[in-house]
Amino acid sequence: MRRSSRAAGPLALLTGLFALTLTTATALAAHEPRTEPTVRVGIVLFDGVQIIDFAAPYEVFGAAGFGVATVSANGKPVTTAMGLRVTPDHAFADAPAFDVLVVPGGDVAQAERDTAVLDFIRRKAAPARHVLTVCTGAAILAATGLLDGQRATTYFPRLHELAERYPKVQVIDDVRWTDNGKLITSAGLSSGMDAALHVVDRLRGEDVARTVALRLEYDWRPGGGFVRSRMADRHLVRQWDKKIAWPADMAATELTSFGDEHRWRKRYRIVTATSPEALLGLIADGIAAVGGWTRDGEAWRWHRDGDGRPVTLTAATSAETAGRFDLELSIDAP
């Protein structure tokens, strides 16, 4: 077949250049910076780290042309919270200086107490332009003392724990990320991608950050976007677990939990010798002990005022076999 020698039109040329840019960005290793001035990112790894917490920022910063390197205490492979084995690029001892230091979360109990991890973060944070935490990584940074007097957020179920354990930190519970200038913290899991794009915005401008988000086919919202802690299940008082006299033999498995800012549905599979009716009675006693809710007669329904709007909690069970049934909790805050 004879190939046409006619020159490509402007649209085809632009499309080709854009495709070439994407192909080149994908083909080159993200370890080395590809922009001037260079930006070097270091990501701290440890046993129990959450994959998305470090992989999402890695992807963002690599796509932005930043140099990205991973580092662990001894440079040996770490095992993530999901069992994936990852080999870091550096040990603490030979890690270079970084412009951006990323502290991911996951199972942070050990890292939060590891003096080697805390000392490394303090040392590398000093010359860095930004320090970014993802999810429960905020607890590691808080343990260094660097977050004292600063605003911070974290994974939704760990917000109260962070506030209780680190009272000098100003914990913010209704944002996707916080920006203190140098120290930036993000909420759970995927929010690390948003905060990483925010760092790209800080270093290269919003146009570049939007371009990176487009390459990743990610709906980035510079103003914040989805905030987990604003969902309707925030009205479920966490003290209930301590106030409800759960049966000693009870095993509960969460089957579903979903909703939006106005409605939430949770369903659990319950295995216990306690009858569904008796379990609902124990829940009612626990809610009464916490206070703040008014029961609707003898129904398994309660009301309260939450954030200036009426909130209704409904509990129901559906029996399947003896000793096994579903417990459903519904929150409505229209």
Cβ–Cβ under 8 Å, residues 121 and 92 = no
Alpha helices in the chain (DSSP H): 10-27, 51-63, 115-125, 137-144, 159-165, 191-204, 206-215, 240-243, 276-290
Place of tokens 């998305």: 52
Is 80 catalytic? The answer is: no
DSSP conformation class of 149: T
| Tokens matching residue 290 | 């916490």
The helix-helix angle for 206-215 and 191-204 (nearest 10°) equals 140
* 301 torsion bin: left (phi>0), alpha (psi -120 to 50), beta (else): beta
Alpha helices in 205-275 (DSSP H): 206-215, 240-243
Instruction: From residue 283, give the alpha-carbon distance in Å to each of 195, 244, 286, 293.
Output: 39, 6, 5, 12
Nearest alpha-carbon partner for 45 in 96, 17, 81, 9: 81
Which of 49, 135, 162, 187 is catalytic? The answer is: 135
Nearest alpha-carbon partner for 195 in 156, 221, 234: 221
Q: At 277, give phi and psi (nearest 5°).
A: -65, -40
Q: Tell me which residues are annotated as active site.
A: 135
